[in-house]
Structure 1
Amino acid sequence: MALAEGWKQRRKRNPLLRALRFALLALVAVLVLPYLLVLAYASSVVHPVSTLMLVDAAVGRSYERSWVAFDDIAPVLVQSVMMSEDGQYCAHGGVDWNALNLVIDDALEGEATRGASTIPMQVAKNLFLPAVRSVIRKGLEIPLALWADLVWSKKRTMEIYLNIAEWAPGVFGIEAAAQTYFGVPAADLSGRQSALLAVTLPNPHARNAAKPSRGMTRMARTIEKRAAQSGAYIKCLYD
């Protein structure tokens, strides 16, 4: 009895043990919190912010973002983004395993890899994880994407994605992007404007939808054609 009491007293006095216990509890909280937030973000009245927006706010940088409902976004913009970023969006459950396995095989063989991030994976990254690329981040991103795809409808996932994506430095969300680049609301974007915005997404700090390079213009033409033929791919959003 006395030995047990003595151990308890030593443990209470040991600051290292207390610090380790606190660090472990903090780690568990950080890992669990995103899964709880996914449940909260299922409601359409909640307008989530991304980690990049939080960083901008923390360092005193201003940013633009006006939330817009999914039904107030031009369908051609949705089609263009889907065809550019995640053509199998309606078919997979948050992760495109075929594309991911191809990337893993290429990496193991020492070949250059291409992106395999689905829209749910990008939403998970933008909402909950740092922008630094790493294997650890990808390992956290995949289960979060699967969970989000299970909890949210496809329409809600796309709505969140289009409202938190960065389209230009300090410009987040499709409404702010449409106004910044073309002076129109997201509901009035044309097919060409939508395609240019879609090809801007992978590198918004280097690409300008209003002043596209030849390469951007060429990619936008391809995306515009794909969007016009995408009826079979978008049924999960408009049926």
Structure 2
Amino acid sequence: MSKAQVDRKPRRRWLRRLLWLAAFIVVFPIVQVLALRFIDPPFSSFMMIRQFQAWGSGDIDFRIAHDWRDLDQMSRNVPVALIAAEDQRFADHSGFDMKAIENARDSNERGKRIRGGSTITQQTAKNLFLWSGTGLTRWLRKALETWYTFWMELLWPKTRILEMYANFAEFGDGVYGAQAAARTWFRKDASRLSAAEAARLAAVLPNPKRYSVARPGPYVQRRSRAIQRQMRYIGGAGALREVEGRK
């Protein structure tokens, strides 16, 4: 066997490994998304990361607050408030709201602060499967988020996406999902949340570590009132019927 043939063997081995890794990265998210159409996950990647962060900092008593509730076990005010606050075209787009992205880009170019153009589907993909990240890891996450979003919109009904978001959105440090948030701050089940309470929960998104449900400052109070107005504007429970009509 020649030296050239010997040298080619390691290269071929690494090439095969890279191809297997690429195939895994492409296929594994599809398997995850398909499985979670039917299985209610007990935790999300964000929950797991936060728990390990607490343990890593020496806070061994830190515990995540989370309690799954099906969408029909929540007050309809909860999903309506989330749609009104985060993604009013949720029923119409296929995971990516190009109009919102263009508006965010134009406003950022003018130096105005604006919320990003991420949809509820994209936020659910990030919260459930991925991480936040900075620099290169953030761009990698964005690429994977796009891939997950595509398959979630293809394989899940809109109500399943909304159900996942309502259960895994972070409403306070270590408090994930509407049920845990309702119990933590309002001492009631998510099934009994009023429009004002649901709007206050939605008002702290997407930055629940900066804004507080328990001690709402002027911004959260103003935003809560604005969300309630938007809930009425989009038709209240009628907005959910539109979502339920999308398969």
TM-score range, shorter chain: 0.7 to 0.9
- The alignment covers a number of residue pairs equal to 232
Give the Cα separation in 1 of the matches to 2:18 and 2:222. 51
Which residue in 1 is equivalent to 2:104?
A: 103
Which residue in 1 is equivalent to 2:81?
A: 80
1:81–1:47 CA distance, 2 compared to 1 (3 A) = same
Give the Cα separation in 1 of the matches to 2:185 and 2:208. 12
Q: CA deviation at 1:35?
A: 1.8
Match of 1:142 among 146, 149, 164: 146
Which residue in 2 is equivalent to 1:205?
A: 209
| Mapped contact 2:158–2:244 kept (Cα < 8 A) | no
Give the Cα separation in 1 of the matches to 2:227 and 2:110. 30
Give the Cα separation in 1 of the matches to 2:18 and 2:48. 23
Which deviates more from structure 2 when the two are superposed, residues 54-63 or residues 82-91? Answer: 54-63
Give the Cα separation in 2 of the matches to 1:132 and 1:46. 26
- The alignment yields a C-alpha RMSD, in angstroms, of 2.6
Which residue in 1 is equivalent to 2:242?
A: 236
Q: CA deviation at 1:36?
A: 1.5
Aligned structure 1 segments of 4 or more residues deviating by more than 4 angstroms: 9-12, 16-21, 104-107, 109-113
What secondary structure sits across from 2:165 in the alignment?
helix
Give the Cα separation in 1 of the matches to 2:4 and 2:97. 55
Which residue in 1 is equivalent to 2:125?
A: 124
Tell me if 1:50 matches 2:44.
yes
Calculate percent identity across the aligned residue pairs.
32
Tell me if 1:158 matches 2:162.
yes
Which deviates more from structure 2 when the two are superposed, residues 215-224 or residues 229-238? Answer: 229-238
* TM norm structure 2: 0.82
Q: CA deviation at 1:58?
A: 4.1
Q: Deviations over 1:31-85 (max 9, x none)?
A: 4311211111111x43253211122344545311111010011111111111000
| Mapped contact 2:78–2:178 kept (Cα < 8 A) | no
Unaligned runs of 5+ in 2: 56-61
Unaligned runs of 5+ in 1: none
Q: CA deviation at 1:28?
A: 3.6
